[in-house]
Amino acid sequence: METAIFWGLSFCAVAAALAVVFLRQAVNGVMSLLALMLVMAGLYLLLGAQLVALFQLIVYAGAVLVLFVLVVMLLNLERKPARPLLYPGKPAVASLLALCGAGFAAILRWAPPPGGGPMGGAVKPAPPIEQLAIDLFTERLLIFELTSVLLLAAAVGAIVMSRKAGDLS
């Protein structure tokens, strides 16, 4: 059953990612990305990471993508005639890169596990959410604080950038 869900979700994820890349209209791309986010949330659940799945929905799907939609609407990108966004010859490059990814994955899959590494199956128990919180605020306190600095800098940057050119603040 799990295997079937995995393959189903994988198929959806790849399809959604390809849709982002190949759909002409930006808004369709954003919607496909939304689909990808949802599928990812499913995958996280499959991996026993419920909290991550939750955040994926709230932060990504809820906040980030809404921002994208907003910008796409704001800039009225839809009204532009749909110019060919795909360059002839470039699919070759794309497939090459995709092949690299697939090849790399294949290597990981079939390469002899050095020193008898884990081949899967031996799943670590999903940690309690409480443990995550403790980790985050003890061992990983610094990165938590740093993300707040990052967000502050990003906020300042975003404000500077989106203000009209001649504006004084």
Partner 1 sequence: MNPDCLWLLLAPPALGFLVNGLMGRRLPASITAAVALAAVGLPLAVALGFLLEMTAAPPEARVVATSLYTWLSDGDFQVRVGLLLDPLAMVMSLVVLGIGFLIHIYSVGYMEGDVGYRRFFAYMNLFVFFMLLLVLADNLVLTFCGWEGVGLCSYLLIGFWHERKSACDAGRKAFIVNRVGDFGFILGILLTITAFQTVDYGELAEIAATAPGDASPIIALMVLLIFMGAMGKSAQFPLHVWLPDAMEGPTPVSALIHGATMVNAGVYLMCRLSPLLNRCPEVLLVIAVLGLVTALYAALAALGQRDLKRILAYSTISQIGFMFVAVGSGMYALGIFHLVTHGIFKGLLFLAAGAVIHTLGGEQDLGRMGGLFREIPAVAVAFLAGLLALAGVFPLAGFFSKDAILWGGFQRFGASFWIVSLSGALLTALYCGKLFGVFFGPRRDEGPPHRPGALLIWPPAVLALGALIAGVLGLPMFAQDTLLSRFLGFASPAVASGQGHELEVIMTVFQGMVIPAFLAASAYLFVRRRRRMEELERAFPRAAAFLADGFGLDKLNALLLATPLRGAARFSARIIDNRIIDGAVNGVGWAAMRAGRLLALLQTGELRHYALSILAGAVALLGAALYAAGIF
Partner 2 sequence: MAPIFQDVNLYCLLPELVLLTGAVVLLFVRGAGRGSAALPVAATTVIVALAAVPLLWGERAVGFGGMIVKDNGALLAQALLLITALVSFAAAADALPERKNNGEYYSLLLFSLVGMGIMTAAGDLLVIFLGMEILALSLYVLVGFLKVVRAGMEGAVKYFLLGSVASAVFLLGLALTYGATGSTQLVAFTAPATMPALLPAAAVLLVVGLGFKIAAPPFHMWAPDVYEGAPISVATYISVAPKIAAFVVLLRLAGESAGPGREALTGAFVFMSVAGMAVGNLAALRQTSLVRMLAYSGIAQAAYILIGLPALSAGGAAAVSFYLLVYMFMNLGAFASLAHLSRRRTGTLRIDDLAGLASRAPGHAFALAVFMIALTGIPPTGGFFAKFYVFKAGIQAGYLGVVLVAVVATVVSCFYYLRVVMVMYGEEGGAGLRGLPAGVTMLGAAIGVMVVMTILTGILPERFLQAASAAFPLLAAGM
Partner 3 sequence: MTLYHFLGLGLLLFAIGAAGFVIRNNAVVLLLCIEIMLNAVNLILASFARYLYGAEGQIFIFIIMTVAAAEAAVGLGIVIALHRGHGTLAMNRIKDLKG
Query: Would you tell me which residues interact with partner 1 (CB under 8 A)?
Result: 87, 90, 93, 97, 100, 104, 107, 111
Encoded tokens for 87: 């360059």
> Rounded to whole angstroms, what are the CA distances from 34 to 15, 40, 53, 69, 138?
12, 10, 14, 10, 33
The entry of partner 3, partner 1, partner 2, none near residue 26 (CB within 5 to 8 angstroms by kind) is partner 3
- What is the smallest separation between the CB atom of 6 and partner 2, expressed in angstroms? 19
Of the candidates 8, 73, 78, 135, which one interacts with partner 3 according to CB under 8 A? Answer: 135
> Which is closer to partner 2, CB of 3 or CB of 169?
169
Asked whether the beta carbons of 127 and 133 are under 8 A apart, the reply is: no
Of the candidates 112, 114, 162, 167, which one interacts with partner 3 according to CB under 8 A? Answer: 162
Q: Could you say which residues in the range 34-93 bind partner 3, by CB under 8 A?
A: 36-37, 40, 43-44, 47-49, 51-52, 55-56, 59-60, 63-64, 67-68, 71-72, 74-75, 77, 83, 85-87, 90-91, 93
Task: Please give the torsion angle defined by the CA atoms of residues 88, 90, 91 and 94, in that order, rounded to the nearest 10 degrees.
Answer: -170
Local structure of 114: helix, strand or coil: coil
Nearest to 94, CA basis, from 9, 143, 21: 21
